[in-house]
Every structure is written in C-alpha cells, then in structure tokens.
Amino acid sequence: MEELLAPLLCGIDYAHGGGKTMPLTTPDLQLLSERMQVRAEEMKDRVFATVKSRYSKITELARRASTAALDVEAVDSQLRALLDDSSLRIGDTSFDSKLWKLSAEVKGIRSELRVKTSALAVVKSTVEVRDRLLAGKELFDAGQILSGARKIAEVKGIVDDDDEDTLLMHELLKQLLSRIYSEVDSLLAGLCSKVVSVNFTEGILAVNFVTVAGSRHNFVAILETMEVLGLLDGFLGRFTDNLCKLLALLVHSATVVRVEQDSDRAVLRITRDENARVNQSSVEGVYKKVLDFVKFINEHLLHRQKVWMLKLGRSIWPRLADMIIQNHLRKAIPADHTQFQHFEQIQILTSEFEEALEAENFVSVDDEGGLLSNFTADVEIHFSANKRKDLLAKARDIIIRFDYRLLLDMAAEREEKDRLIFREDKYVVSYLPKQLLPIVQDTLKDACSSTPRLALELYKVARDIVLLYRAIVPSQVLVSDKSSVKAAPVFYNDCLYIAHELTTYSQQYSSSLPADLQQSCTLMDLVSVFQSMGYNMLSTHVKLINNQLLQALDSANGFKSTDERRGRERAQSALQQVVSIFRSTHNVWQEFLPSSFQVKQLTMLADSLVSRIVYEVLSIKDMAAEETVQLHNLLDELILDLGSVLASVEKHSRKSLDILVPSWRKLKRLSELLEMSLRPITKAWESGILPSAGFSPAEVQSLIKAIFTDTSLRAECLERIV
C-alpha cells in the first residue's frame, strides 16, 4: 500500500521523511483525495482511448465469451441432471467407492478383452499352421513327396521362430511336427531302401523304380525331398559309406563289374574273377572298374543330374582316391630311378581316368579333382620318400646292431689296416663305416644320373645317413668306453675314415650332379664335423685314462710310512696298478692308433703321472732311513716298468724319454737323491745336475730337511743350495 501511495504523497511531510509512524493531518488527507481524483480521471481517459482504438477486437472477444458461457450452462444442466439421480447423491458416502469400482471393472473388462483377443489370434494362427502341416502330410502320403515336404518345411520354419508371439504356438505344434517328421523320415528311409538296395556279401547295387500312391519316384526325387526337410546330410553320409564299401571291393581285389537292366530295375554286380587277377587288379583295370561304377551311378541312380552327381562325388572322391593311391599307385612307384619311363604310362592313364570322371560330373577341377594326377606327377618325390625310408631304416639297423663292447676284438682281427690318402700312418677301422658308407656312395651315384629334383632329394638322403651316424654312435661309444678302452680309439679312426671318404665323394660326384646342384650339394662341410667329433671323443678318452691313473695314485696315501709293511704294500700296489693301466692303454693304442698319436698322448700321460709321483715324494716332511731305502726301491721299480712300456714310444720318436717326458729325468734324479749323502747332494746341486733335472732350491732343501737330522753340516749344505 505504501508503494502505491508514495507517488501521491510526494511533497507532503510524510513523504519527505516526517516519519512513517506519524499520523496524517486533515490538510494532508484533503490533498491526497484531490490527487486521487485527478489520477482516476487520467486512467478513465486512457481506458476509453484504448477501447476506442481496439473496439473490433474487444467485440469479438465478448462474442466468444458469450458462446462459451452458453456451453458451460449446457454442461451444467447435464451434470445437474446426472446428480439428481437418486442412486448418486453428492452427499452420499458410497459415491466415491462406487465410482472407483465402476472404473476398475471397466479396466478389467478391457484387459480381459485384449487377452482373449490375443489368444483368439494365436489359436487361429495355430489352427492355420496345423492345417498347413497336415495338408503337407496329406500331400506326402498322396505321393507328392516334394510338394508335401516343402509345406512341412515351411511350417517347421514358422515353429522354429523364436518370436514372443509364437512361443506358445511352438509349444503347441512341436509335438505334432516332431511326430510328422519322424513319420516322414521313416517313410523316406523305407522308400530309399526300395529304390536302392546294397548287398555287400554278394557285391550288388540294385536301383528300382518305386510307385507311391500312383506316383513313380526315383532316387533324385528322394534326395530333393530330404534336402528340403534338412535330412540330406545324415542320409548322404550313410549312403556314401555304403558306396565306399562297394568301391573297396573293386579296388582291393580281383573283380569284374557287370550291369543288368530292365524296365523297372538296374543292377550292378561285383564278382570275383581269379582269371582276371592280372588285368583287373592293375591300375588300368581298377580305373576301368571304377569308371563303370560311376557311370552306373550317374545314369541309373541320379539320372545324369549334374548337381547331385557333384554332391555325391564330393563325398566319395577323397576316400576313393586315397584307396587307389594306397593300394595301387603307391605300389606302382618304381623301385629304381631308371624305371621312371615305365611309370609315364600310368600317368597318362591317370589323367584320362580323371577326365572321364569329370565328364561324368563325378569330380571337378575346383574340388580336388586332380588328386591322382597330382600324386603321379610327384612320382620323384614319392620315390625319394620310399628311398629315404628304406635306406635310413637299413642304416639305423646297421648302427643299432653294432656294439663296440662285443665286436671290437672280432673287428680288430678281421679288418685290415687301411692306408688313408694324405696320411702316413695306418688306421684300423671297424666294419660299421665300411657297411654304412657304401650306402651313401650308391645313393650319390643314383643322384648323378637323376633329374635335378630327384637328385636333390637323393643327396639329402645320403647326407641324412651320415648324420644318423653322428646322432647315434657317439652316445654308444661313451657308454662302451667305460668298459672297454678300445671303443674311443676305434671311433676316432672311424671318424677320420668317414671324413676322408666324404672328401673323396665330394670330389668324385659333385661335378656329375646336375649343374644347378654342384655348388650347393656337397658333403665337405661334414668333413670338419667328423674330424672334430673324433678328436673330441679321443680327448675325452685320454682324460678318462688320466683320471684312472691319478685315482690309482691316490691309494698310495702320498707314499708315506713306506718303512712299515702296510704303507710299503699300499704304495707298491698303487704303482703296480698305475703301470698296469698304462701298459693296457699303450697296447690298445699301439694296435688301433697311429704312432704319432701314441707318442704325443702317452708321453703326456706319463709326464702327468711322473710329476704327481715326484710332487708327493717331495711333499713328505720327515723320512726315516728305512723309508728312504723303500722309496728308492719303489721308484727304481717304477722307472724300470714304466720305461719298458715307453720304450716303443722312444723307438718310434727316435728321442730319449728325458726329452719326451720332461719330468722323467727328475724322477730318476729323485731316486738317486734318496740314497745319497749330504755332500754329494750339495755337489750335484752346485754342478747344475739337479737344476737341469728340474729341481728348485726349495725342493732340494725340503728333501734334505726330511731325510737328514739338523746338524751343522746340514745347515752348511742348505746355505749353499740357493
């Protein structure tokens, strides 16, 4: 109110801040009244001007308002008439509940109506589908099997639909559909057995023309019906299995094919004919019989329907081709590469056979139609595969049967010492490489007179035979070497012999191979492999013997207490065992290995052995007089025995043992020192005899301290040995 009066009170004390709580005076009220009258007049003038300027629009609005008022009155009168009903009084407490109940009933009736309408539609649709299904079954029973099958298949498509509206219908119809499908399947199976009958025992395939309800049906119509119903795959699999069993009779045995035909029946008979064994069991005979069989199927069973013939052939051909390959073509592969020209006739027959099958629509080039031609075209590969299998089996048998532990003595007596080119020494080799390498050589010879493709495969076979030796024999030798010292030396010789022969083969046959293989097909890379393999095996053998010698020395207990019986016997036994091992090794090596190797390896073993003995004797801290005597005797005996073993080495090398075995002179000087007195020992040192033998001042001083007691003479001698 204050906001409305504020413009009118302008200039009055109240408006000028007199205070909102102060009352208006009489003059103020009169002034306010006058101002309100003036304002009212101004507003009237404005309203009149507005109405005058918009008179037509206002008139139209008034007319519309009047019409709306009349409509409201009509509705009001209808509502009053309704409310005047004795059963619906505004003041009645049951009005609301009755109105709600009436609304719920209407809603329920409408929902029930929708459900029943939907159910009625489902029932109607189900009845229609059922009628179509029964109609299809009636057509099938009436002999119109293809038309009936199409109707049944349509119904199956509807029933298999997973839409929400048809789920109930699917439940209602699936039992009926399943029963009808079962009946139809049985009828078709029975119809097939009447149209086609197979007797495996007698080898008969009979095709009949069957009439059902006045309609004549053939095998193609049955297949088409099965395809429509989705039953073809299972039946075709079983049927082709039966046909393949009949074809096996044609392929595996000497048989002939006869065809009998009349107006309602055609029969193919497969009968055994021992007189026809030669011709009918050959590749040409088999091709002729199979082609007659296929022609019978095409003409009498499928009535030259290309689509069905291709489908049947697609199921049968892979298995049929495999039977022909395994039973005839693989056996026809030449045993010798010089017979390939005779196989060309089989290649021609195979090509003509597949062309005839293609003309009968049994095979297609796009669907592996050339399985047999591809096999015959790769005759060189198959020949080499057979050759590989046979030769590797033969080589493996030779290798496995050879036992170094059992046959070495016999081999040594039987085998002559072969002089190898480029070497002065003579080697003894076992019969194993002499049996194995001729196989390699013959294979390389065949490769030289073969086509490039076959030559490459034969070269690989020859190489694999050599690699087979490399893969198996070393492990056998390692086992044998633990029980026989002859295994490793003979294996070493075998490896050198093989390396030499491979070198010879490479020079002899490389230039005779096809031009494009001469550089790549060589065995020279294996030469160094076998040389290294032999050297490594022999090095392992030498280490094994050296370990045996050192283990034998371990039982001497450092040559201590030799003045006692037990210690002396222990040291003597150890030295005798060492000499025995050394002598047996020398005898074997002398028999099997070249003299150059014997000199090098035996002197190396001897030096290792003697150095160990000298070291252990010099390591004794205290020696009794009797102990020095016994050690002197033991060392003298060792020098004598070991020297006799090494005499042949000394003879072959034409050098003394002092040069061949650096520690040999030291061993002899040590034996002499054990029986010498202080002054001769000192003199021997000062004259340079001991230093030239390899003694150091510390070793001589240690020996003097161990043998002699502490005296002024010993001290003087020790001072002079520097």
Most confident residue range from 152-166, 398-412, 422-436: 422-436
Given a cut of 60, whether residue 163 has pLDDT beyond it is no
Given a cut of 60, whether residue 78 has pLDDT beyond it is no
Given a cut of 60, whether residue 279 has pLDDT beyond it is no
Q: In degrees, to the nearest 5, what angle opens at C-alpha 624 toward C-alphas 618 and 627?
A: 70
C-alpha span between 312 and 302 (Å, rounded): 9
Q: β-strand 417-419 against 426-428: which pairing, if any?
A: antiparallel
In a domain, 320, yes or no: yes
C-alpha span between 635 and 612 (Å, rounded): 13
Q: Please report where in the chains the tokens 């069957």 appear, as a residue.
A: 210
What confidence category does residue 2 fall into, taking pLDDT thresholds of 50, 70 and 90? low
CB 490 within 8 A of CB 408: yes
Given a cut of 80, whether residue 717 has pLDDT beyond it is yes
What are the tokens at 448?
């030289």
Lowest mean pLDDT among 114-123, 182-191, 545-554: 114-123
How many CB atoms are located within 10 Å of the residue 32 CB? 16
Arithmetic mean of pLDDT, 650-670:
85
C-alpha span between 499 and 524 (Å, rounded): 9
In a domain, 91, yes or no: no
Given a cut of 90, whether residue 234 has pLDDT beyond it is no
Q: Which whole-number Å values give the CA distances from 364 to 311, 356, 369, 382, 653, in the listed order? A: 10, 11, 5, 25, 80
Mapping DSSP to helix (H, G, I), strand (E, B) and coil, where does residue 378 land? coil
CB 299 within 8 A of CB 346: no
Q: Please report where in the chains the tokens 């020297």 appear, as a residue.
A: 643
The pLDDT value recorded for residue 464 is 92
What confidence category does residue 533 fall into, taking pLDDT thresholds of 50, 70 and 90? very high
The pLDDT value recorded for residue 219 is 78
CA torsion, points 536, 537, 538, 542, in degrees to nearest 10? Answer: 100
What are the tokens at 37?
């009258």
Pick the last residue of a domain from 539, 563, 596. 539
CB 531 within 8 A of CB 496: yes
Considering the domain architecture, whether residues 352 and 402 belong to the same structural domain is answered as no
Could you read off the pLDDT of 333-344 as tens digits, one per residue?
887 767 777 788
**What is the radius of gyration, based on Cα positions, of the chain?**
60
What confidence category does residue 86 fall into, taking pLDDT thresholds of 50, 70 and 90? very low
Nearest to 177, CA basis, from 223, 233, 118, 126? 126
The pLDDT value recorded for residue 90 is 46
Beta bridge partners of 255: 272
Q: Which whole-number Å values give the CA distances from 380 to 250, 339, 446, 450, in the listed order? A: 28, 11, 13, 10
Considering the domain architecture, whether residues 411 and 355 belong to the same structural domain is answered as no
**683-715 exposure pattern, b = at least 16 Cβ within 10 A, e = fewer:** ebbeeeebeebbbeeebbbebbebbbeeeeebe
Considering the domain architecture, whether residues 576 and 618 belong to the same structural domain is answered as yes
The pLDDT value recorded for residue 397 is 92
The pLDDT value recorded for residue 96 is 60
Amino acid, res. 633: N
Residue range of the domain that includes 119? 102-230
In a domain, 495, yes or no: yes
Q: What percentage of the chain carries pLDDT values higher than 90?
A: 6
Q: Which whole-number Å values give the CA distances from 597 to 288, 294, 601, in the listed order? A: 71, 75, 6
Q: In degrees, to the nearest 5, what angle opens at C-alpha 526 toward C-alphas 522 and 528?
A: 125
The pLDDT value recorded for residue 226 is 79
In a domain, 425, yes or no: yes
C-alpha span between 719 and 722 (Å, rounded): 7
- Positive or negative, the CA dihedral 696, 699, 704, 707 is negative
The pLDDT value recorded for residue 530 is 92
Query: Which H or E element spans position 196?
Result: strand 196-199
Would you list the DSSP string of 459-506?
Answer: HHHHHHHHHHHHHHHHHHHHHHHTT-TTHHHHHHHHHHHHHHHHHHHH
Could you read off the pLDDT of 239-266 as tens digits, one per residue?
888 888 888 888 887 788 888 887 778 8
What confidence category does residue 468 fall into, taking pLDDT thresholds of 50, 70 and 90? very high
Arithmetic mean of pLDDT, 281-286:
80
C-alpha span between 635 and 163 (Å, rounded): 109
Arithmetic mean of pLDDT, 567-592:
87
Q: Which whole-number Å values give the CA distances from 169 to 121, 132, 182, 360, in the listed order? A: 11, 14, 20, 48
C-alpha span between 639 and 627 (Å, rounded): 18
The pLDDT value recorded for residue 80 is 59
C-alpha span between 253 and 246 (Å, rounded): 11
Given a cut of 90, whether residue 396 has pLDDT beyond it is yes
CB 616 within 8 A of CB 558: yes
Pick the last residue of a domain from 377, 394, 422. 377
Given a cut of 60, whether residue 166 has pLDDT beyond it is no
Instruction: Please tell me the total count of domains within the chain.
Output: 5
Considering the domain architecture, whether residues 400 and 505 belong to the same structural domain is answered as yes
Given a cut of 60, whether residue 572 has pLDDT beyond it is yes
Considering the domain architecture, whether residues 112 and 252 belong to the same structural domain is answered as no
**Count of CA atoms in the C-beta half-sphere (13 A) of 119:** 6
Given a cut of 70, whether residue 283 has pLDDT beyond it is yes
Instruction: Write out 601-630 in H/E/C secondary structure.
Output: HHHHHHHHHHHHHHHHHHCCCCCCHHHHHH
What confidence category does residue 465 fall into, taking pLDDT thresholds of 50, 70 and 90? very high
Nearest to 178, CA basis, from 190, 160, 162? 160
Q: Please report where in the chains the tokens 């061993």 appear, as a residue.
A: 667
Given a cut of 90, whether residue 393 has pLDDT beyond it is yes
Given a cut of 70, whether residue 304 has pLDDT beyond it is yes
The pLDDT value recorded for residue 301 is 84
Query: Which H or E element spans position 526?
Result: helix 525-554
Considering the domain architecture, whether residues 257 and 370 belong to the same structural domain is answered as yes
In a domain, 406, yes or no: yes
Task: Between 317 and 171, name the one with better pLDDT.
Answer: 317
How many CB atoms are located within 10 Å of the residue 316 CB? 21
In a domain, 94, yes or no: no
What confidence category does residue 152 fall into, taking pLDDT thresholds of 50, 70 and 90? confident
In a domain, 346, yes or no: yes
Q: Please report where in the chains the tokens 């073509």 appear, as a residue.
A: 329
Burial level of 125, CB count in 10 A (0-12/13-18/19+)? middle
Instruction: Write out 648-691 in H/E/C secondary structure.
Output: HHHHHHCCCHHHHCCCHHHHHHHHHHCCCCHHHHHHHHHCCHHH
Pick the last residue of a domain from 539, 554, 587. 539
Considering the domain architecture, whether residues 529 and 576 belong to the same structural domain is answered as no
**Percentage helix, strand, coil for the chain under 3-state DSSP, each rounded to 5:** 75, 5, 20
Considering the domain architecture, whether residues 417 and 523 belong to the same structural domain is answered as yes
Arithmetic mean of pLDDT, 633-643:
89
Considering the domain architecture, whether residues 528 and 465 belong to the same structural domain is answered as yes
Considering the domain architecture, whether residues 517 and 567 belong to the same structural domain is answered as no
Considering the domain architecture, whether residues 125 and 273 belong to the same structural domain is answered as no
Considering the domain architecture, whether residues 226 and 239 belong to the same structural domain is answered as no
Amino acid, res. 544: L
In a domain, 66, yes or no: no
What are the tokens at 606?
């001897």
First to last CA, the chain: 140
Beta bridge partners of 204: 199, 269
Q: Look up the pTM and report it.
A: 0.63
The pLDDT value recorded for residue 467 is 92
**627-642 exposure pattern, b = at least 16 Cβ within 10 A, e = fewer:** bbebbbbbbeebbebb
What confidence category does residue 284 fall into, taking pLDDT thresholds of 50, 70 and 90? confident
Given a cut of 90, whether residue 83 has pLDDT beyond it is no
C-alpha span between 27 and 12 (Å, rounded): 10
C-alpha span between 211 and 221 (Å, rounded): 12
Would you list the DSSP string of 30-52?
Answer: HHHHHHHHHHHHHHHHHHHHHHH
C-alpha span between 673 and 694 (Å, rounded): 13
Query: Which H or E element spans position 390?
Result: helix 379-401
C-alpha span between 237 and 319 (Å, rounded): 12
Given a cut of 90, whether residue 182 has pLDDT beyond it is no
Task: Between 47 and 510, name the one with better pLDDT.
Answer: 510
